[in-house]
Structure 1
Amino acid sequence: MTPPSSAPDLLPRSTEWRELAPEIHRQRLVIEGIPAQPVDDAQIRAYLSALSREVDMVQLLEPVTHRSDLYGWAGWIHWETSGAHFYAWEQPRLFFSVDIYTCKAFDPEVAVAFTADFFAARTVVAKSF
């Protein structure tokens, strides 16, 4: 029996990205920002459900949330074509981060504008990949 490889052995030697499954559509978007006020459970649930409609995704389950005393709020929603995660901090600063991963195309500008408006965030950054 061959022992399992260590994690570093599994990483490619090059940092260059390779498309391993071009026939499968995958779209990712990270949105981060500074909300106007602390984000709570009800806002996270409302945001994730509304985001589903904004980017035309089919929601399979109600959003799930959890609060950690150390790290703040986390939320997740399951879509037919993948899903989205949401994280919010109050300390050391007000901050949120959204990770969207889908197998269906969507307009990132719609998601970013909706997110900024929903949280009344004056400062928002986003990255698609």
Structure 2
Amino acid sequence: MISDTIQKQITDALKAKDETRLIALRMLSTALSYARIDKMSDLNEEEELTVVKKEAKKRKDAIEIYDKANQKERAEKERAELKILEEYLPKQMDDEQLSKIIDEVLSGMDDKSNMGRVIGEVMKKTRGQAEGKRVSELVKSKS
């Protein structure tokens, strides 16, 4: 489970005095704890991955905002944390693989104009190996 790995890596980061890694892992550990409390039971691996994805998305959004506000130091801090969080996420599909899946989904659908449904089906098939924004852009380019 991801939470067990994180606890061990928090200890390793403390020993190595790796402040950035320690902060990112503690935030992730806290987010997982809150999710566990909300659910009132332990999280399975898929639910833990969902929490990691949400935390990674928060970092990406913050990076975008800090870049627009010309706050490079904060953006770099968020990038460093994002890199650490991405270690826990599944490897992302390349555009070629994703394009094949989109083509499969489109060929199996009668109504290709319903973008939301197409994107939803593609997201189910990719199982976290592609970001929704990327899927949406590729689906739109094929329509």
TM-score past 0.5 threshold: no
Structure with the bigger RCO (C-alpha within 8 Å, sep 6+) is 1
More strand by share: 1
Give the helix-richer structure, 1 or 2: 2
TM-score by length of 1: 0.25
Bigger radius of gyration among the two:
2
Give the TM-score, by structure 2 length: 0.23
